[in-house]
Chain A
C-alpha cells in the first residue's frame, strides 16, 4: 500500500515541475504548452487519486471532463502556435513582448 503522503507529494511535485517549466522557459512556446499539459495532468492525477481515496465517483467524472478540456485547449493552443509561427517565423517566448504596459 502506497501512502497518502507519497501520492500527494508526487502530484504536487509534478505540478511544480510544470510551473517551473512555465516560469524558467525563455526559448520555446511549445515547451510552455507542454508544461501546461503537465500541470493539467498533475491536477487530473489529483482528481483521480482523491476519487479513489475518498471512494467517490465525482472525481473520476471530473477527471474525464478535464481530460477533454485539456485536449481542446492544447488543440487551440497548438493552432495559435502554428499561426504565430507562420507570421513571425520563430516560436521564441522572449520576443513575445509587444504588449508592454
Chain B
C-alpha cells in the first residue's frame, strides 16, 4: 500500500503516454483519474495509520549508490509531514484530473496531457516520501521537468515555450543551491539520509569549514543553500519571476502545479529540514525576512494586474511568502497547516478561474469581463468562497492558518531572540492581508459584479461548466470552508502530538500558548485590514471607478500604477543586470574572444596561418639567382663544419621557454 501509492501514478503515466493512442481520449480520461483516485484513498488510509495512529513507516527498497562512505538507497519514509503532503497532493491532483478530463475535452493531445499530469503526481510523491536527499532530489528535478513539459503543453505558442524555459532555468538556479547544500551536508555529516543527518545535527553546532581561507559555520552554510533551493521552487523574492509567467500553461496545470503542489515543495523542504535550520538562527532570520518581503511584494503587484490568472498567481506567491516566514519564525506546524489550507482554496480559485475562462471563449483579461454573476452563479459562489477564504474571513479555512501566523508574528515581536525579524514580517504580513483582500475582491468585482464589457456573441455563449468540472469545485468549496476548522486542533492545537518527531522546534522558540494571550486590538487588526481591503476594492472598482481612473491618470498616479503593474520592474532589472550581461558575456567573451578567439588563435587557425606564412618566407629565399644559392650553400657548409663550436649557441637558441616565447611573438607578428 505504501509503495503502490508511489508506483501507481508512474504506471498510469507510462500507459497513458506510450499507449495513449490505443486507449484514446476516453480510455485515458478514465484511467488517469481512476489511478489518482485510488492513490487518494490510499493516502487517506496512510493518513489514518501514520498521522492519526502514529505508526511511522520506514521502507528500504534497495541500495542505489553504494561506495565507501556513500550509501544511498531507494527508501521511503512516511511520517506526519509526508502524510499531510500526500493528502494534499493526491486529493488536489485527483480533483484536477477529474476537472481536466472535461476542461481539455476538445484538445487533440489529451492523452499526453494526462500522462504528464500523472507523471507530475509521481514525481511529487517521490519528493515527499523520500528518506534521503538524493531521492528527494529526483522528485525535485522531476517536478521541475514536468512543469516544463506542462507549461509548454501547447508547444506551438512562442510565449508558452519561453515561459517554460524560464520556469526551468530559474528553478535550476535554486536547484544549484540545493545541490551545494547536499554536497555540504555530505561533507559535514558523511551521509545523506534524513535520520542520520537530523540525529547528528546537535553535535555539529560548532563545526566550521574553511572556504577560500574564510571559516564558515557549516550549519548556516547548509541552511542558506537549502533556502536558496526552496527560494527557486517556492518562488520567493529574487527567483519568483517564473511563477507568473508559468500561467501560459493550461489552467488545470496552474491549479495543480503552481498553486497546490509544486510550489509547496520549497516549504516542504524547509519543514523537512527543520531539525537542521533550527540550529542556525541566522538562516531563520534570512528566511523570515525574504518570506515577509515576498508576501508584501507579490500582494502589492496582484492588486494592479489585469490578467485573471496572474492575479491568482501573485496571490500564490504572496501566500507562499506567508508560509516561508512562518518557517522563519520556527512555526513549521503552522506553515504546514497554511500549506494544506492554501492548497485547497487556491486550487478552488484556479479551477473557478478556469471555469470562467472556459465559458468566455478563452478570455483572460478582467477588463473585458463583468456582469457574470447572473450568468455564472455557481462559479461566482465558488470564487467568492475561495476569495473569502483567501482573505482570511473569520471561520473559513484561511482564517485559521493565516491569522494564526500573524498572531504568532505579533507575539514573537516581544521576545528578544528573534524580535526584529518578527516585527518586520508582522507589519509586512498585515499590509499583505490588506492587499490580499483588495485584489481578491477587485477580481470578484471586475469579473462578476461590475457592468459587463463582454461582446454580445460571447455573452450568448456563456454557460456553466459541465458536471465533471463542477464536482471538483464543490469538493474544494467544502474543503475551503471546513478544512481549517477541522484541522485546527490536529495541526496547531494545544499540545497536539500529531507532528511528534517529524519536525523540530527549538524549545526557546516554541510559542503556542502565548498567542492566546494577545491583546484584542492585535487580534482584530488583520480582520479589520481585510475588511478595509474589501471596502477599498468596492470603492475603487465598483462605486467610484472614475475617480480612481482620474487618480491613476495624474502624474504621480500614472508612474506609481505603471511601476507596480510592471511588477516593480523586477523582470527588467533581472534582464538588464543579470541576463543580458550574462548572455553578452557568453557571446563576446566565451564565444568570440575565447572559443573563436584565443583558442583558435593559438590553436588550429593560428598555426595553419603561421605555417603558410613561414612557408612563403622560406620560398622567398629561393630567388632564382645562382649567386644566392651559392651563398646559402657556403653558409650551410660553414654551419655544418662548425657544429661543434656553435653547440653552446644552439643550446641558447633552442631553450624551450625562449622558443615558446619566440613562437608566440611570431604568431602575433605573423597575423
Chain A's closest residue to B616 (CB) is A101
Other-chain contact of B634, A23, A25, A93, A101 (Cβ < 8 Å)? A23
Q: Cβ of B631: which chain A residues have Cβ within 8 Å of it?
A: 23
- B626 interfacial contact with A, CB 8 Å: yes
CB pair B634 A19 closer than 8 Å: yes
Which bracket fits the contact residues of B? 10 to 19
CB pair B634 A100 closer than 8 Å: no
Q: How far is the CA of A101 from the CA of B626 in the complex (A)?
A: 12
- A54 interfacial contact with B, CB 8 Å: no
- B623 interfacial contact with A, CB 8 Å: yes
Which bracket fits the contact residues of A? 10 to 19
Known: A94-B625, A96-B625. A101 touches B620 (CB 8 A): yes
CB pair A100 B622 closer than 8 Å: yes
Q: How far is the CB of B628 from chain A (nearest CB, A)?
A: 9
CB pair B626 A93 closer than 8 Å: yes
Other-chain contact of A97, B621, B625, B630, B634 (Cβ < 8 Å)? B625
Q: Cβ of A23: which chain B residues have Cβ within 8 Å of it?
A: 627, 630-631, 634
CB pair B627 A26 closer than 8 Å: yes
* CB-contacts of A11-70 with B (<8 A): 19, 22-26, 32
Q: How far is the CB of B626 from chain A (nearest CB, A)?
A: 6
CB pair B626 A96 closer than 8 Å: yes
Q: How far is the CA of A100 from the CA of B625 in the complex (A)?
A: 8
- A5 interfacial contact with B, CB 8 Å: no
- A99 interfacial contact with B, CB 8 Å: yes
Q: How far is the CA of A97 from the CA of B627 in the complex (A)?
A: 10
Chain B's closest residue to A22 (CB) is B630
Chain A's closest residue to B631 (CB) is A23
CB pair A101 B619 closer than 8 Å: yes
- A98 interfacial contact with B, CB 8 Å: yes
Q: How far is the CA of A26 from the CA of B627 in the complex (A)?
A: 8
Q: Cβ of A22: which chain B residues have Cβ within 8 Å of it?
A: 627, 630
Q: How far is the CB of B285 from chain A (nearest CB, A)?
A: 79
Q: How far is the CA of A101 from the CA of B615 in the complex (A)?
A: 10
Q: Cβ of A24: which chain B residues have Cβ within 8 Å of it?
A: 627
- B108 interfacial contact with A, CB 8 Å: no
Chain B's closest residue to A32 (CB) is B626
Q: Cβ of B621: which chain A residues have Cβ within 8 Å of it?
A: 101
Q: Cβ of B630: which chain A residues have Cβ within 8 Å of it?
A: 22-23
CB pair B627 A100 closer than 8 Å: no
CB pair B626 A100 closer than 8 Å: no
Q: How far is the CA of A99 from the CA of B626 in the complex (A)?
A: 10
Q: Cβ of B618: which chain A residues have Cβ within 8 Å of it?
A: 101
- B461 interfacial contact with A, CB 8 Å: no
- B624 interfacial contact with A, CB 8 Å: yes
Chain B's closest residue to A25 (CB) is B627
Q: How far is the CA of A25 from the CA of B622 in the complex (A)?
A: 18
* CB-contacts of B624-671 with A (<8 A): 624-627, 630-631, 634
Q: Cβ of B626: which chain A residues have Cβ within 8 Å of it?
A: 32, 93, 96
Q: How far is the CB of A35 from chain B (nearest CB, A)?
A: 10
CB pair B624 A99 closer than 8 Å: yes
Q: How far is the CA of A33 from the CA of B625 in the complex (A)?
A: 16
CB pair B622 A93 closer than 8 Å: no
Q: Cβ of B634: which chain A residues have Cβ within 8 Å of it?
A: 19, 23
Q: Cβ of B624: which chain A residues have Cβ within 8 Å of it?
A: 96-101
Q: Cβ of A101: which chain B residues have Cβ within 8 Å of it?
A: 618-624
Q: How far is the CA of A93 from the CA of B470 in the complex (A)?
A: 108
Q: How far is the CB of B627 from chain A (nearest CB, A)?
A: 6
Q: How far is the CA of A26 from the CA of B628 in the complex (A)?
A: 10
Most central of B618, B620, B630 by chain A CB within 10 Å: B630
Chain A's closest residue to B629 (CB) is A99
11 A-B pairs within 8 Å (CB atoms) are namely A19-B634, A23-B627, A23-B631, A25-B627, A93-B626, A96-B625, A97-B624, A97-B625, A100-B623, A100-B624, A101-B622
B-to-A contact residues, CB < 8 Å: 618-627, 630-631, 634
A-to-B contact residues, CB < 8 Å: 19, 22-26, 32, 93-94, 96-101
20 additional A-B residue pairs with CB within 8 Å, beyond A22-B630, A93-B626, A97-B624: A22-B627, A23-B627, A23-B630, A23-B631, A23-B634, A24-B627, A26-B627, A32-B626, A93-B625, A93-B627, A94-B625, A96-B625, A96-B626, A98-B624, A99-B622, A99-B624, A100-B622, A100-B623, A100-B624, A101-B624
Sorted from nearest, which 4 A-B pairs have the closest CB atoms? A101-B622, A97-B624, A100-B624, A101-B619
